[in-house]
C-alpha cells in the first residue's frame, strides 16, 4: 500500500503554498555569496532570515559565530519520551552568480517561469532548506507538536568548503547528538522519480599559479627566450590525463575502492540515455574514462576538471603580451576511499615534477571534502522511502551523484548518526551556472515529503 499524506498536513500545506513560495522568494533575494568578502553582511542577513523563520514557528534558535560565516542552530525538543532526534542540515550560502549577462532574469530577483523558480540558490540550497522549515511549520501549526525532536543546522560556507563546520560539530557534538540526519541538497533522478542518494563524490579543489617574469613582457622582444607561463600552465594541465582520458597523476587511483558489482548493475538498469544527456547539454559527443558507462563515470569514478583559466590579455582584439603569470582552478572529484589531502599532495608532487625551468609554480589547496557511500538500511532510510512515496505517488529509486556534499561524512563520523539524502533538485537545474532553477512543483512536494518524513521516522524510531 502506498503511504499517503495525513489529511491535516495536506490541508495545511495546500492552504499555505502561496505564502511558502513568497517566503522563499524573500530568502532568495539575499545575495549570500559566501565566496566573496563583499557579501559578508548578506550572508549574515541570510543566517538571520533562517533563524527568524525558525523562531516564528516555535524553535529555540541561536546564531553561532565562526571565523567565517555564522551557523544557525534551531532546536525543538518537546517530543514524547522515547522519540528520536532528527538533525536537518542545509546551507544558506550560494555560489557566485557570474557571468551575470547569461541570466535571463537577475539572479537575486526570483521569478517563476514555466513552473520553475529561477534564482541563484533556488535549488542549491535555499529552496531545499526552506521546505523543511515549512514542513516543520505544518506540524506545529496543525498539531501544536512534532512527533520527533528536531535540530535544524544551517551553515553559510558549504559553497566554499564548510571550513568551520567540522570543528563546530566536534565542539557541539553533545548538543547536536541525534539519531539520524536528513539533508535535502541533491537531485532526483528525473522529474517525477523521487530518489534517495547512496553515494557522493568528494573533492579536492586546487589553484595553480605559474609565475614567470616580474612583469608582462612584449612577446616580440622576449618571446622565444623567456618561458611563457600560460604555455607552461597548458603543458602542466595536459599531463593530468593520458591520451585515453584516464588521470595520469602517479598514485591517483591507488585509494579507489571499486563500487560493488551489484551497485553497478543497478545503475545500468536506471532509464538513462547518453543521447538525451548529449542533447540536454548541447554537445556532439560525450567523453570520459574508458571502460565505464556515463552514469558510472558521473557517480563512481573520480575526475580532474579545469574550473577556470586566466592569463595575459583577454579583451577584444590582439595584444602581443608575454604574460607574467597564469592561473588555473583545478578540481578533482573523488570516490571512496580517496582522501582530499592525499590527492592534493599527489597533485602538488606531480606538478612540481612536470613544471618547466624558468617559471615558479605553486599549487594551493583551496578546499576538500571526503567522498561518501551510504549504508542503505535502518529507520531513517525506510522513513525516507515512505515519505517520498507518499508525496510523489511512487517508490523512490536509489541513485549516486557526481556532486559533493563534503559534510555528509563528517556528520556520520562525528555524530555517529546515519544520513538520509533526500533531494528535490532536477537534472538541468543549473545549480552552479546562470539561470539556476528549482521546480516549483518539487518545492511544494518537498514540503509534503518532509512533513511525512517526520511522522514516519517517529513511528519507526520511537522506543
Q: What is the CA radius of gyration of the chain?
A: 23
Torsion, CA 419, CA 422, CA 423, CA 426, rounded to 10: 130
Give the residue with the Cβ less far from a second copy, 83 or 210.
210
Tell the smallest beta-carbon distance from residue 156 to a second copy (Å): 14
Q: State the Cα angle at 221 between 216 and 224, rounded to 5°.
A: 90
Report CA 50 to chain centroid distance, whole Å: 19
Cβ 236 to a second copy, closest distance in Å? 8
Q: Is there a contact between 329 and 160 (Cβ–Cβ < 8 Å)?
A: no
| Region of residue 161 (phi > 0: left; psi between -120 and 50: alpha; otherwise: beta) | left
Residues in contact with a second copy, total (CB under 8 A)? Answer: 101
* Binding flag, residue 406, a second copy (CB under 8 A): no
**Contact window for a second copy (CB under 8 A) among 143-151, 342-350, 352-360, 389-397:** 352-360
| Shortest spacing between CB 187 and a second copy, in angstroms | 7
Sites for a second copy among residues 434-463 (CB under 8 A)? 434-435
Q: Under the criterion CB under 8 A, does residue 199 sit at the interface with a second copy?
A: no
Alpha-carbon span 88 to 92, nearest angstrom: 13
Contact code string over 108-147 relative to a second copy, x by CB under 8 A: ----------------------------------------
Closest CB 303 distance from a second copy, rounded Å: 4
DSSP conformation class of 213: S
Contact window for a second copy (CB under 8 A) among 56-64, 220-228, 252-260, 341-349:
220-228
187: left (phi over 0), alpha (psi -120 to 50) or beta: beta
- Tell whether residue 320 is a contact of a second copy (CB under 8 A): yes
Report the nearest approach of a second copy to the CB of residue 373 (Å): 15
Quick one: 176 or 233, whose CB is closer to a second copy? 233
Q: Does 105 bind a second copy (CB under 8 A)?
A: no
Torsion of CA 3, 8, 9, 11, to 10 degrees: 110
Q: How far is the CB of 287 from a second copy (least distance, A)?
A: 4
| Cα 446 from Cα 80, distance rounded (Å) | 25
Amino acid at each position: 500500500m502506498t503511504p499517503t499524506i495525513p489529511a491535516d498536513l495536506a490541508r495545511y500545506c495546500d492552504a499555505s503554498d502561496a505564502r511558502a513560495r513568497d517566503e522563499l522568494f524573500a530568502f532568495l533575494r539575499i545575495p549570500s555569496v559566501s565566496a566573496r568578502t563583499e557579501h559578508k553582511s548578506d550572508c549574515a542577513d541570510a543566517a538571520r532570515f533562517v533563524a527568524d523563520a525558525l523562531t516564528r514557528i516555535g524553535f529555540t534558535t541561536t546564531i553561532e559565530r565562526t571565523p567565517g560565516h555564522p551557523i544557525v542552530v534551531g532546536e525543538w525538543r518537546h517530543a514524547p519520551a522515547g522519540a528520536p532526534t532528527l538533525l536537518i542540515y542545509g546551507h544558506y550560502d550560494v555560489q557566485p552568480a557570474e557571468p551575470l549577462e547569461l541570466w535571463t532574469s537577475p539572479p537575486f530577483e526570483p521569478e517563476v517561469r514555466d513552473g520553475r523558480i529561477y534564482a541563484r540558490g533556488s535549488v542549491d540550497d535555499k529552496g531545499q532548506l526552506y521546505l523543511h522549515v515549512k514542513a516543520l511549520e505544518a506540524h506545529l501549526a496543525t498539531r501544536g507538536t512534532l512527533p520527533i525532536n528536531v535540530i535544524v543546522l544551517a551553515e553559510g560556507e558549504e559553497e566554499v568548503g564548510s571550513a568551520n563546520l567540522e570543528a563546530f560539530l566536534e565542539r557541539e557534538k553533545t548538543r547536536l547528538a541525534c539519531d539520524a540526519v536528513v539533508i535535502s541538497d541533491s537531485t532526483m533522478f528525473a522529474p517525477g522519480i523521487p530518489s534517495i542518494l547512496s553515494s557522493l563524490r568528494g573533492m579536492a579543489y586546487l589553484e595553480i599559479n605559474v609565475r614567470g617574469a616580474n612583469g608582462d613582457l612584449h612577446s616580440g622582444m622576449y618571446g622565444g627566450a623567456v618561458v611563457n607561463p600560460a604555455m607552461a600552465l597548458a603543458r602542466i594541465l595536459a599531463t593530468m590525463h593520458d591520451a585515453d582520458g584516464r588521470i595520469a597523476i602517479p598514485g591517483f587511483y591507488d585509494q579507489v575502492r571499486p563500487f560493488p558489482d551489484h551497485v553497478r548493475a543497478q545503475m545500468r538498469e536506471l532509464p538513462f540515455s547518453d543521447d538525451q544527456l548529449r542533447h540536454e547539454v548541447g554537445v556532439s559527443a560525450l567523453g570520459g574514462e574508458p571502460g565505464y558507462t556515463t552514469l558510472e563515470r558521473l557517480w563512481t569514478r573520480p575526475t580532474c576538471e579545469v574550473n577556470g583559466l586566466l592569463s595575459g590579455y583577454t579583451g577584444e582584439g590582439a595584444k602581443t603580451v608575454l604574460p607574467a603569470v597564469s592561473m588555473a582552478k583545478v578540481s578533482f572529484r573523488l570516490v571512496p576511499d580517496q582522501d582530499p589531502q592525499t590527492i592534493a599532495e599527489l597533485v602538488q608532487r606531480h606538478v612540481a615534477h612536470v613544471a618547466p625551468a624558468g617559471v615558479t609554480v605553486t599549487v594551493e589547496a583551496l578546499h576538500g571534502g571526503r567522498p561518501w557511500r551510504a549504508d542503505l538500511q535502518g529507520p531513517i532510510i525506510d522513513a525516507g522511502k515512505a515519505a517520498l512515496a507518499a508525496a510523489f505517488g511512487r517508490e523512490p529509486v536509489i541513485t549516486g551523484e557526481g556532486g559533493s556534499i563534503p559534510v555528509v561524512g563528517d556528520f556520520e563520523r562525528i555524530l555517529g548518526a546515519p544520513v538520509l539524502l533526500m533531494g528535490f533538485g532536477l537534472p538541468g537545474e543549473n545549480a552552479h551556472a546562470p539561470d539556476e532553477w528549482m521546480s516549483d512543483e518539487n518545492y511544494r512536494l518537498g514540503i509534503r515529503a518532509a512533513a511525512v518524513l517526520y511522522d514516519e521516522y517517529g513511528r519507526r524510531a520511537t522506543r
